Amino acid sequence: MEKLGHVIAIGGGGCGRNPNHNKIEKYILDQSENSKPNVVFIPTASAEDKGYLVNFYSCFSKLECQASHVNFFQRTPRLDSIINQADIIYVGGGNTKSMLAVWRDWKFDKLLLKAYQNGKILCGVSAGAICWFEQGVTDSWASNLNTMECLGFLQGMACPHYQEEFDRRPSVHQMLKNDKAMPGYAIDGGAAVHFKNGDYHRSLQFYPDSHAYYVSCEKGQIIEKKMEMIQL
């Protein structure tokens, strides 16, 4: 059986917020066997926000890689060719529900699964972090946080912005108690969780005091396990 690739799920922050903060981006590049990897940015969740694209290129143009991006809201290129040539696929934040709807209509989800099965590095922030799991906690709806079915490459639930947005933590706890959320990973902004071959590998901290947690509920009691963090 072929080895699956990597998934690096970032809870928030990174190049989209500040292109001069590139610790997690350098870490992602270091996971590639290619000395100058081909990084493809997927900004679908932000409706391909121009400022987001500027920040992406501002960050990655200073690093040892070849950077490009995919548009779905303009004339869309041959997606299979782009993904086949990619070493790293970096998914930006925004509206998870809308992003997945676009991807599924273009059958891009199937290309991403093939990329993962072929050992490529999948990563992303916020919407681009939770999309790889069975279930994500998302603010795609304006009214309140919800869980939604995601791509299912990784087991369980994921929630970004866990401690940096005041309603995230209590909402996740209530969802777990009400059996609306699976057990899974809650990730602060400035933290990331790295999976290899479908299994948990390590948790990473690139902002001070940022953490990742494994949260579950047993007999009505929330269990919040703080992961050991590797500081970048």
| Number of independent structural domains in the chain | 1
Residues acting as catalytic residues: 126, 161
User: What are 15-38's pLDDT values in tens digits?
Assistant: 887 888 899 999 999 999 999 999
pLDDT at residue 1 above 70?
A: no
In a domain, 56, yes or no: yes
Residue 149 lies in a domain: yes
Residue 13 belongs to some domain of the structure: yes
Residue 17 confidence (pLDDT): 79
pLDDT digits (tens, 9 = 90+) for 135-158: 999 988 877 888 999 999 999 999
As a residue count, the chain comes to 232
Give the residue numbers spanning the domain of 125.
6-231
How many angstroms separate the CA atoms of 200 and 154, rounded?
A: 9
103's CB contacts (< 8 A; 6+ apart) are 44, 109, 112
Please give the Cα distance from 85 to 62 (Å, whole number): 21
Rounded Cα–Cα distance for residues 158 and 135 (Å): 7
**Block residue for tokens 């057990």:** 183
Provide the Cα torsion 92, 94, 98, 100; round to 10°. 30
